[in-house]
Amino acid sequence: MTNIEFEVLIDDSLSNVATIEEFKSVANKSLLSMVNDFEDAKWRFGKFQNFLWDNVAETALSANERKALISQSHTSLVESAKNLRLSDSDVTGEGSEIAEIFLYGVMKNHFGALPVVPKIFYKQNSQDNAKGSDSVHIVVNGNDFTLWFGEAKFYNSIENSRLPSIISSVLNSLKTDKIKKENTIITNVSDLDHLGIPDDIKTKIKEALKPRNSIDDIKHIINVPIMILHECDTTRGAIDLSEEYKKSIRDHHIERGQSYFLKQLSKAIEVHKYEQVSFHLILFPVPEKSQIVQRFTSLASMYKAT
C-alpha cells in the first residue's frame, strides 16, 4: 500500500537488490528509497515542506486533539506548532523533529500505519514518555497486527562516519526494558482507543503487550523503520527527475543500505532473536539541509506566535 507523494525508486527486500552475496538470503531487511521531483529546474522545497505540515498533527497532537480539530486545519497547525521544541540545535541545523514528522508521514501514507503514540506531543507534555523510539505505530492487517518502533535522523551525509550513531539508537531501542516501556505507553495512553481499531484487535493488542509477557514472544511482529533524510550532492546538482538521476540515487542508496546493514549486523549479537525483527531502511535525499530547517523553523515560529 502506498499513497506517498514522492517517487519510490526502491521498495524491496534487500535480498532482491543487494550486490553482495552476504545479503542474498537475508529475509528481515528491506530498503525504501524515495525522491522529490523538480519544477523549473529546481528541487521542490515547497512540496517537501507541505508534506511536513500535512503530517505534523500525527505526531504533535494527541488522537483526541486531532479529532476535535478535524475541520479546523489552520488551528490544527497552530496547536501542532506549539508542541514543537524548535530547540537551538534545530535552528542551527539538527532538524530532528523534521525527520520525525517525515517518518510519521511515510508510516501513514506508505505503510498504512496508525500513530498510537504521537511522540512529539508526549515529548512536549511528559519527559518520561519522551524516552525511547522516535515513532511508535501499529499496522493492522486483517485480524492481526504488527508493532513499529522507528528511528529518524536528518544528516548532512550518509557516509560511514554517520552510521554508528543511528545503529546504536536502533539496537538500544530493541533492549527488553525499552520495548516494555514503549508497550506500557501504548496501552496506557488513550490514543489507542481513538484510532478506529476494531475492538477485538484492540483487545488482542493490549493482551499481547501486557508487562508480564515475555518480549521474546512478540519479536516476530516488531518492525523498525529507520528514516534517514540526508544531504546529497547529486540531488543538489540535478535539475529534473531524469532516468540518469534516478539511477544514480538508486545505486547510491543500494550501496549505502548494504553498508549500513553490514555495520548493524556486526553488532546484532546485542539483540536476542535479532533475526526475527524486521528492519526497513528509508532513505530520502535533499539538496540542502540548512534551507529546509530554516524554512520549517521560521514557519513553525510564526504558527507558535499566532
* Model confidence pLDDT, tens digit, residues 101-117: 899 999 999 999 887 77
CA 97 to centroid of chain Cα atoms:
11
> In tens digits, what is the pLDDT along the chain, a chain of 306 residues?
567 889 999 999 999 999 988 888 888 999 999 999 999 999 999 999 888 888 876 665 555 545 554 554 555 565 666 666 665 444 444 678 899 889 999 999 999 988 777 666 556 554 444 456 888 889 999 899 999 999 999 999 999 888 999 999 999 999 999 999 988 888 877 678 778 889 999 999 999 999 899 999 999 999 999 999 999 999 999 999 999 999 999 999 999 999 999 999 999 898 999 999 999 999 999 999 999 998 888 877 776 667
Model pTM score: 0.90
What percentage of the chain exceeds 90 in pLDDT?
55
Q: For residue 50, what pLDDT is reported?
A: 86
DSSP output for 12-40: EEHHHH-SSGGGTT--SEEEEEEE--EET
Distances (CA, A) of 263 to 9, 32, 299: 23, 18, 37
Calculate the alpha carbon distances from 129 to 35, 52, 126, 188 in Å.
Answer: 33, 23, 5, 11
- Please give the pLDDT value at position 77: 60
Q: Are 151 and 133 in contact (CB under 8 A)?
A: yes
Nearest CA to 107 out of 166, 167, 151, 168 is that of 151
Residue 90 has what pLDDT?
44
Task: Identify the three-state secondary structure at position 149.
Answer: strand
